[in-house]
Structure 1
């Protein structure tokens, strides 16, 4: 996939989220101070994208295969590069992975409007770039991420119900 150059247009990205009766678009932009803003909307059938909180993470591989077993396992673990990184959701580093984000809050109609900022990832070149050799993806989980260190997979959000690859936007 390769790393983007530091040009202004390379400091924006987009994610097209898809799942079983779930769609959405996220936008990412990196400010001059390196902080990345993430915002957008996700909607789905409320029987699939149920009202309440859902784990919402950046994962380490830019592949969203709904037919993987389990679904979307092709996106790898939580984004957590570096010599001491660990992608497994169930270990002492969780909820401090670089790709851990605040939960997605879905309303009764199956709609979620999302907005957050993070200094844990970058769109530009460097050790925290989302555009490393195998890219990155955003995953929506079935359950709320309880943001516990050393919790179970279910406490970290459980099953993956939707996925989108992070791509450069112009």
Structure 2
């Protein structure tokens, strides 16, 4: 089983933890919680680069190894990194589970080392008619991101536990 985690942060107070699991060559299950967002839909994508040195702007475009247009997760013609929208409640938090067959954790199209990005606006799934619909889903600015790291769950739990019991330096 492959496992990974992305810890999302932003200068705007958006935070989240996204877990990825994959059994063999099967679908990848994405579970997460993101807080600090405005209520409603927010585009959710895997971007091509794991570089966050310039915040979320340095994560590159959506992960698109097959050179396709932007689309909905269920579309045959879509970027591999197009995961649709997450739904944020009135409390500013989204809790979600997504399954997808185009985001493996191993092999030539692995998403490990790439960034997970939450956008400011809804993803129109390539159907909005806007000039950016077929490129980005017209999902607006990047409000939080984090690099997907493989097999880091133990390290994350240690970090969280240290923060809870006050051992963090």
**Cα displacement string for residues 38-79 of structure 1 (whole angstroms, at most 9, x for unaligned residues):** 0010111xxxx11000000000000124xx3xx522000000
* Counterpart position of 1:31: 23
Q: What is the Cα-based RMSD across aligned positions, in Å? A: 1.8
CA deviation after TM superposition for structure 1 residue 169, in Å: 2.0
How many equivalent residue pairs?
141
Mapping 1:11-160, distance limit 5 Å: 11-19=2-10, 20-44=12-36, 49-65=37-53, 68=54, 72-82=56-66, 85=67, 93-95=69-71, 96-125=78-107, 127-131=108-112, 135-148=113-126, 151-153=130-132, 155-160=137-142
Give me the whole-angstrom Cα distance separating, in 1, the residues matched to 2:22 and 2:33. 19
Give me the whole-angstrom Cα distance separating, in 2, the residues matched to 1:64 and 1:121. 20
**Cα displacement string for residues 99-133 of structure 1 (whole angstroms, at most 9, x for unaligned residues):** 000201111111100110000111012x32113xx
Question: Quick one: higher RCO (CA 8 Å, sep 6+), 1 or 2?
Answer: 1
Give me the whole-angstrom Cα distance separating, in 2, the residues matched to 1:169 and 1:114. 21
User: Aligned to 1:41, what secondary structure does the other structure show?
Assistant: strand
CA deviation after TM superposition for structure 1 residue 138, in Å: 0.6
Normalised by the length of structure 2, the TM-score is 0.77
- Going by fraction, where is helix more abundant, 1 or 2? 2
Cα distance change of structure 1 residues 76 and 34 upon mapping to structure 2, 3 Å threshold: same
Any unmatched runs of 5+ in structure 1?
A: 1-7, 87-92
Alignment of 1:165 with 2:147, yes or no, is: yes
